[in-house]
Amino acid sequence: MSDKVLNVLFLCTHNSARSVLAEAILNHIGRGRFKAWSAGSSPRENQQPNPLGLQVLRSAGISVEGLRSKSWDDFGKPDAPHMDLVITVCDNAAGEVCPYWPGQPATAHWGYPDPSVGDGSDVEKLEAFRQTLHALKRRLELLISLPQAKLEKTLLQQTARGLARE
């Protein structure tokens, strides 16, 4: 697996905030060892990534090129990329019945509060997005720093689930 790129899919309900942040962060810091995607269990019609999330990513120097909201059904199709790891980042998606993932990838749940909900001002919501970005980045930095042996399929699920406690 040493030359193999690890494909990671981040899931959330609407695929507009946390999962999009995780996709962008991992693609930015993944050092060519990881390729990330994101999807939602039920993205709304014409759903787009949250503008505050895109603003926070840009401010952090992370590209938002190509980010879009999409359904997790897209990744269960025969021509979809084969995933090695599927991570839910919201509690709603974690409790839903996921589609069949070809290749039976490792799975983990890393729950984060939704930075886009609540009655706070845009300044408060922007700060919530910043905090979510930093929390995701810390955990993803731990993932990418793991030795190759910890990323082997037999250990990946246990390792990814253990990072939920970090």
Whether 102 contacts 76, CB under 8 Å? yes
In this prediction, residue 17 carries a pLDDT of: 94
User: How far apart are alpha carbons 120 and 6 in whole angstroms?
Assistant: 37
Q: Considering the domain boundaries, does residue 65 fall inside one?
A: yes
| Structural domain boundaries, residue 32 | 6-148
Q: Considering the domain boundaries, does residue 10 fall inside one?
A: yes
Please, what's the b/e burial string for 47-59 (b: 16 or more CB within 10 A of its CB; e: otherwise)?
bebbebbbebbee
Q: Considering the domain boundaries, does residue 41 fall inside one?
A: yes
User: How far apart are alpha carbons 42 and 79 in whole angstroms?
Assistant: 21
Strand partners, 10: 38, 87
pLDDT band at residue 162 using 50, 70 and 90 as cut-offs: confident
The predicted-structure confidence for 88-135, as pLDDT tens digits, reads as follows: 998 765 556 666 677 788 888 999 999 988 788 889 999 999 999 999
CATH number of the structural domain spanning residue 93:
3.40.50.2300
Q: Considering the domain boundaries, does residue 154 fall inside one?
A: no
Q: Considering the domain boundaries, does residue 163 fall inside one?
A: no
Average pLDDT over residues 154-165: 74
Sign of the CA dihedral 140, 110, 135, 42?
positive
The structural domain count of the chain equals 1
Using only C-alpha atoms, what is the Rg of the chain?
15
The pTM score is 0.88
H helical segments located in 30-85? 51-59
Strand partners, 56: none
